[in-house]
Amino acid sequence: MADSASTEAPTETATPEVATSTEIAPIVSTRRFAALSEFWGYFSKNLGALIGLVVFALLILIAIFAPFVAPHDPDNQFRDFLLAPPVWQGGTWQFVLGTDPLGRDMLSRLIFGSRFSLLIGLIVVTGALFSGVILGLLAGYFRGWVDVVIMRIMDVILAFPSLLLALVLVAILGPGLVNAMIAIAIVLQPHFARLTRASVMAEKNREYVVSARLAGAGAIRLMLLTILPNCLAPLIVQATLSFSNAILEAAALGFLGMGAQPPTPEWGTMLADARQYILRAPWVVTFPGLCILVTVLAINLIGDGLRDALDPKLKRS
Amino acid sequence: MLRFILNRLVLVIPTFIGISILSFGFIRLLPGDPVDVLSGEHSMSVQRHDELLHQFGLDRPIWQQYFEYLWRALNGDLGISLSNHHPVMQQFLQLFPATIELSICAMVIAIVLGVTLGMLAAARRDTWVDQLTMGGALVGYSMPIFWWGLLLIIVFAAGLHWFPVQGRMDLAIYFKPVTGFMLIDSLLSGQKGAFQSAVQHLVLPSVVLSTIPLAVIARQTRSAMLEVLNEDYVRTARAKGLREARVTAIHAFRNALIPVVTTIGLQVGTLLAGAVLTETIFSWPGIGKWMIDAIGHRDYTVVQGGLLMIAIVVMVVNLIVDLLYAFINPRIRVQ
């Protein structure tokens, strides 16, 4: 797809000079469709990626329809059922996966927890992608001191272990889900900046960019409309990987008491709350972690599939 | 080679300055008055406030404060802990061996198993061996390690009683630390059962900490091997009639090493971040747990000092990996 995208770019950018947009539009859209179906062809051959996609879609549906799917209110405390075991360990069908130390239904809390994890991933990746791409574009396009300043700052961020830096940022901002997301986005964005910068530098002197510049395109147009669309493939893969990273790191922060605060049914926070009961009631620890693992695994499977489908080098081999 | 080393060293300077600015700025970025933060005292009189302001040097221009901080840090003075009044540097040096010991054990597991499994998967490409290994690697890569640690505790510590739950040494055994590395110290002490206890305490935390690097190294080794196995010199080696094991282990593997070494180097940051979680779960007295406790107690001089030291460690390791990389791959040196 990256190949076909770069071949279509010159036609797109040179449009105003060469022909009217009405003539060229249908060709571009059929090419886009062809590129998309080619991509799907490669992606759907990967069984793991398809499984990941199905699981992820299911998770999204569960998150959206949580109030209808969950058997109980996630914060409702059933005082007569503290630490009730799951149904196959002698529990009742009322609480299929058992209850936590406060008598809240595990299944309902896990279902509502999916909302937090997916939302965390989405917001963090959007934030990191947006700021990282802009910084990378500026650094790669202008080079010189802009590049030096931006990239040195990125190097400094990357010099710290990500979780530790996120922890320190949360210590500055104060514990909480929103601050944890800001911290994780800051920690993840250098990857986007580096990738974008490298792609921009590779694309900048290609003929289609030069011709667009000669045709009078300004810096912003060149950066956003001419160059950026041709750098998308690695960014999409990185975004997927960051999505799963964001979920893991947010859960880790929650586990350390610096992320979402109780009684929020965030999976990492649930694990932290349940830690002291691991020997008496292993299910309060097992299920939240399993949910994190399944979600992250599904996204990573999709990421692997995307990388294989989008990487032209791997495709040919 | 010398020029390459010098170039690399020069590149380290701006990163170091950035790291020091960030760690210097940390206390000033915290909400609230820095005097309150640093003294831990509340509702003090104006006179006392001004006194402390002067004592901490916070009444001087900010650049002067920074250079003073930098100068003191370069001389090994990272301030005094707010909670126990010990020098931060001394605490760091005391706890660091525990983290190094754990990290080295984890890295050895990750490299030995990761490289072996990666090579195996590449040699048996597209068979069930490959699929099983790579499936396992992806699960490992996706693992929330704090949960993985708890699971291992449930099964191997609480259930089977094979390994202890926390700490570095059995409480019944005591000896004076010499090197700070339990494996070495326990041998030096000559006490019966000390070394065995040290090993037992190391197993679960090392396994947990090695999980993600192991998965990453296995995946990277496989793809590096697959790339190399298609090369002409591998075909030549096969055409000469060499045994397949020799072709894979010597001709292909040596050339696949370069990307693998880079990956291993990049895992050091992951390892230190993982140490924060692993040490917390297993109550391992290293710098990861020290940092978490310091954040919890609002011991901000410790957080500041620890942050600086950890970043320096990561920076130095990356530098060493870069140099090692040039040593393995002569093409890099020439560039």
List Cβ neighbours of B40 (8 Å cut-off, separation of 6 or more): B82, B298
Residue whose token pair is 């489908």:
A309
The ipTM value here is 0.84
Look at residues A260, A264, A236, A261 and name the one whose alpha carbon lies nearest to residue A249: A260
C-alpha dist (Å) from residue B290 to A169, A257, B96: 17, 15, 10
pLDDT tens digits, residue range B160-209?
A: 888 888 877 777 777 777 787 877 877 787 777 778 888 888 999 999 99
Confidence grade of residue B92 (pLDDT, cut at 50, 70, 90): very high
Shortest distance between the Cα of A13 and any Cα of chain B, in A, equals 36
pLDDT tens, residue order, chain A (317 aa): 334 444 344 444 444 444 444 555 566 667 778 878 888 888 888 888 899 999 999 999 999 998 998 888 888 888 887 888 888 888 788 888 888 888 888 899 999 999 998 999 999 999 999 999 999 999 988 888 999 899 888 988 888 888 888 988 888 888 888 999 999 999 999 999 998 998 888 888 888 888 888 888 888 888 888 888 888 888 888 898 899 999 999 999 989 888 888 888 889 888 888 888 888 888 888 999 999 999 999 999 998 888 888 875 554 43
Chain B's closest residue to A270, CA to CA, is B147
Shortest distance between the Cα of B144 and any Cα of chain A, in A, equals 6
Element (H, E) at B296: helix B287-296
Look at residues A262, A267, A263 and name the one whose alpha carbon lies nearest to residue A247: A267
Cβ contact B295–A268 (<8 Å):
no
Max alpha carbon distance in chain A (Å)? 76
> CA neighbours within 13 Å on the CB side: how many for B210?
22
Contact A262, A102 (CB under 8 A): no
Residue whose token pair is 């329809």:
A65
Cβ contact A161–B30 (<8 Å):
no
Q: Give B295's contacts in chain A (Cβ within 8 Å).
A: 167-168, 171, 258
Shortest distance between the Cα of A159 and any Cα of chain B, in A, equals 6
- Alpha-carbon distance of B190 to B186, in angstroms, equals 7
